[in-house]
Structure 1
Amino acid sequence: MIRTLAIANYRSIRELAVELHGLDVVTGENGSGKSSLYRALRLLAECAGGASGNIVGSLAKDGGLSSTLWAGPESISEAMRRGEVPVQGTVRREPVNLKLGYSGDDFGYLVDLWMPTPSGSGFDPETGRPRRSAFSLDPEIKREQVFSGMIARPGSLLVDRKGNVAKLRGPDGEWTELSRRLDTFQSMLTEISDQDRAPEVLQVRDAVRSWRFYDHFRTDPDAPARQAHIGTRTPVMHHSGKDLAAALQTLREVGFERQLDAAIEHAFPGSRVGVAVTDGRFSVELRQPGMLRPMQAAELSDGTLRFLLLTAALLTPRPPELMVLNEPETSLHVDLMPALAELIVQASGSSQMIVVTHSEALLKALRDSGAAHEHVLYKDLGETRIKGLGTLEGPPWSWPKR
């Protein structure tokens, strides 16, 4: 299980280390930094080759590193916090960079990205001057580490990457070169695949790649979940929900029928979800009390369809190591929150869960379960912080020096 999530210099998060407990709920007022924490976690997953393939590509979609970096001063004094002096910048002591990492029961991982000064791409043979690269705004991965334990200490490091070079620590404590040809825009988690020499890198990569993110399922009239699709066995629903019908049918056929029917009964008493199959194309239908025919996916309300999508995601027969839900309450009626909370708590028995929400009804239902640990975010001089956690409190964490 992930025990600590650490983020530095991402949007409103200047420096944050969050202790995780298995089922963690992140909440706070609008603009408190919930979305920043969620997006930072998705960026961390991209280091292992997520949906976008690499973290630099994901940052480009976010507007580039320069637009995602912390915009406040490098440090905020207590006098600034008390309002005795205005918030102002000082002479920088550290480089401009974005740092992400986590530590867990087995291994930890961290990455440090920075914006290099514009450099050449070889030399122009005619002028003899450095040739500027067209990709000069791309950030570079400056440092990566895989370590054991809760903190990346010198004695706990297993693999250490600096720039293009990665070194491996042997059983005798001696460092040997693992690779010196790493691309600065690719994580070593995707570049190194030596099972014999560096199995820890592959273990971290496989663990991070197993993380699943579900964020604002589409429920508009043209949403993929409302359309019929060719069905194949689907133990893991796609993040878009396009294979919802196949995922629901898979749940029935692999022994999850009772859990599926119970979830639908809790949310919509007397109803039962089914799957119509025509020429190999699967589509969702919902039978409801008093109706002479099942309601087709195109007829379902946004909230009903979204609940079915969340049900298929949370009841997965192939649970990930970590599942993250971002504002799952969107479009759902307040009366559905107890049923959704029950599904989340049930899923936390086989997957670590992080839920980002601002729904008081969902928060109450999760609190009542006694299984959730709550993190309330707030802004202090533009900086995202956790209520009840002092500046020097929180889980231990250490970023490596350059």
Structure 2
Amino acid sequence: MITTLAMSGYRSLRDLVVPLGRLTLVTGANGSGKTSLYRSLRLLAEIAQGRLIGSLAAEGGLSSTLWAGPEAITRAMRTGRQPIQGTPRTQPVGLKLGFGGEAFGYAIDLGLPSPENPFPLDPAIKLEAMWTGEVLTRASQFAERRNGLVRLRTTATGEWREAMEGLSPFDSMVTHCADPGDGYELLALRERMRDWRFYDALRTDPDAPARRPQVMTYTPVLAGDGADLAAAIATILAIGDGAALGEAIEQAFPGSRLSVEETGLRLGQHGLLRPLGAAELSDGTLRYLLLAAALLSPRPPELMVLNEPEASLHPSLMPSLARLLTMASVEAQIVVVSHSEALISALREEGGMAEIRLEKQFGETDAPEVERPVWIWPKR
């Protein structure tokens, strides 16, 4: 389980380190930095897929994603005795992301490319580090990448050896130095990060993929766009917790019954002479079914992140959604980004939730109500 998430130099996240629990709610006013925190988790996941540089390019390149304020906001600036202005830099320009967990920790430091690079908007990976446990120490570190040189600590002797030289500044050691031998820990981390799931594109409009006819096939994991909803529900009913799914439907839509036919899913509702297909369902009903299929997956991930899952849902459905989220957090670590007061209240009533309320001051995102965990960035 990830216990600490750290971000530095990314958009409004000048220097933010927060704790994560089994079920964590990230909330705050519009513009407080919720989306930036969500994106930082996605960027960490993209490292294991080899898509980090491309993802940052899609956001406008490194220059568009870097913290736009001064390197440090002094007390004089905060009290108004001094205007907000740039100060002499003490650290190199960088965008840093990392996490610490019960098993492994990882951090990456991205900086400006060399002048001769033909793609000046692309960041260069300057440094990576991996260690055992939550906090980086000299004794716990077992993998290090500095510019193009990668070193791994030999498992048997504890000595360092050079694993690769000349690694491209666009490639991560997580994807290029993982092997079943001395790079086994890198391999294990890569596979765990590849298993993280993100749901922020579950469409419910008339042309949504979930409304189209589907082929029924074994589908233990709902796709990110919900295109295989019917097959995912059929899989839950066949090999998953069909009773929990039925209970979730009954709690949300009393008297309704969910089933799957060759042509797709069907929802029978009290008072209707025939069940409704996916194309006939309201946006809110379809959205709830998509979330239920994601959260009740027969193959739960290590980490699942949901961005504003309450979209299209009536406030009356929030208690049912909160119960689903709480139930899913038993098998998978869940991070929910939301500003819905109805969902926040329902999650609080369920209990067992960690809450991170973000605020923005002087353009910088902060979490003043949580205690900052111990965190050490690797140094260039």
State TM-score, norm by structure 1. 0.92
Equivalents in 2 of 1:153, 1:290: separation in Å?
Answer: 64
Superposition deviation, residue 255 in structure 1: 4.1
Equivalents in 1 of 2:338, 2:265: separation in Å?
Answer: 27
SS of match in other structure, 1:396: coil
Q: How does 1:5-154 map to 2 (within 5 A)?
A: 5-49=5-49, 53-119=50-116, 133=118, 135-154=119-138
Structure 1, unpaired ranges of 5+ = 121-132
1:287 pairs with one of 268, 281, 284:
268
Aligned to 1:130: none
**Is residue 2:246 matched to residue 1:261?**
yes
Percentage identity across aligned positions?
55
SS of match in other structure, 1:241: coil
- Asked if the contact 1:329–1:357 (Cα under 8 Å) also holds between the matched residues in 2, the reply is yes
SS of match in other structure, 1:343: helix
- Asked if the contact 1:217–1:309 (Cα under 8 Å) also holds between the matched residues in 2, the reply is yes
**Is residue 2:372 matched to residue 1:397?**
no
Task: Give the letter for the 2:185 counterpart.
Answer: E
- Asked if the contact 1:54–1:186 (Cα under 8 Å) also holds between the matched residues in 2, the reply is no
**Is residue 2:332 matched to residue 1:348?**
no
- Asked if the contact 1:147–1:156 (Cα under 8 Å) also holds between the matched residues in 2, the reply is yes
**Is residue 2:139 matched to residue 1:158?**
no
- Asked if the contact 1:226–1:284 (Cα under 8 Å) also holds between the matched residues in 2, the reply is no
Task: Give the letter for the 2:258 counterpart.
Answer: V
Aligned to 1:177: 162
Equivalents in 2 of 1:327, 1:216: separation in Å?
Answer: 10
Describe the superposition over 1:243-296 as per-residue Cα deviations: whole angstroms up to 9, x where unpaired.
000000001111422111100000000011122204xxxx22211000011111
- Asked if the contact 2:57–2:121 (Cα under 8 Å) also holds between the matched residues in 1, the reply is no
Aligned to 1:242: 227
Structure 2, unpaired ranges of 5+ = none
Task: Give the letter for the 1:16 counterpart.
Answer: L
Equivalents in 1 of 2:333, 2:223: separation in Å?
Answer: 19
Aligned to 2:4: 4
- Asked if the contact 1:216–1:327 (Cα under 8 Å) also holds between the matched residues in 2, the reply is no
**Is residue 2:343 matched to residue 1:362?**
yes
1:209 pairs with one of 194, 215, 218:
194
Equivalents in 1 of 2:203, 2:338: separation in Å?
Answer: 18
Superposition deviation, residue 179 in structure 1: 1.1
Q: Hey, which bits of structure 1, 4+ residues long, moved more than 2 A? A: 170-174
Describe the superposition over 1:332-384 as per-residue Cα deviations: whole angstroms up to 9, x where unpaired.
00000000000000000000110000011111111011111111000011100
Equivalents in 2 of 1:297, 1:58: separation in Å?
Answer: 32
Change (3 A) 1:396 1:207: same
- Asked if the contact 1:54–1:187 (Cα under 8 Å) also holds between the matched residues in 2, the reply is no
Describe the superposition over 1:44-78 as per-residue Cα deviations: whole angstroms up to 9, x where unpaired.
111100xxx41001101111111011000000111
**Is residue 2:297 matched to residue 1:337?**
no
Task: Give the letter for the 2:206 counterpart.
Answer: P
State TM-score, norm by structure 2. 0.97
Greater displacement, 318-327 / 74-83 = 74-83
Superposition deviation, residue 99 in structure 1: 0.4
Superposition deviation, residue 193 in structure 1: 2.8
Equivalents in 2 of 1:91, 1:255: separation in Å?
Answer: 58
Aligned length: 379
**Is residue 2:308 matched to residue 1:327?**
yes
Equivalents in 2 of 1:205, 1:275: separation in Å?
Answer: 35
**Is residue 2:286 matched to residue 1:305?**
yes
- Asked if the contact 1:216–1:330 (Cα under 8 Å) also holds between the matched residues in 2, the reply is no
SS of match in other structure, 2:139: helix
SS of match in other structure, 1:24: strand
Describe the superposition over 1:180-212 as per-residue Cα deviations: whole angstroms up to 9, x where unpaired.
142211111111232111111011111111110
**Is residue 2:259 matched to residue 1:274?**
yes
Task: Give the letter for the 2:14 counterpart.
Answer: R
Superposition deviation, residue 96 in structure 1: 1.2
SS of match in other structure, 1:349: coil
SS of match in other structure, 2:90: coil
**RMSD of aligned residue pairs (Cα, Å):** 1.2
- Asked if the contact 2:129–2:145 (Cα under 8 Å) also holds between the matched residues in 1, the reply is yes
1:195 pairs with one of 168, 174, 180:
180
Task: Give the letter for the 2:71 counterpart.
Answer: E
Equivalents in 2 of 1:217, 1:302: separation in Å?
Answer: 11
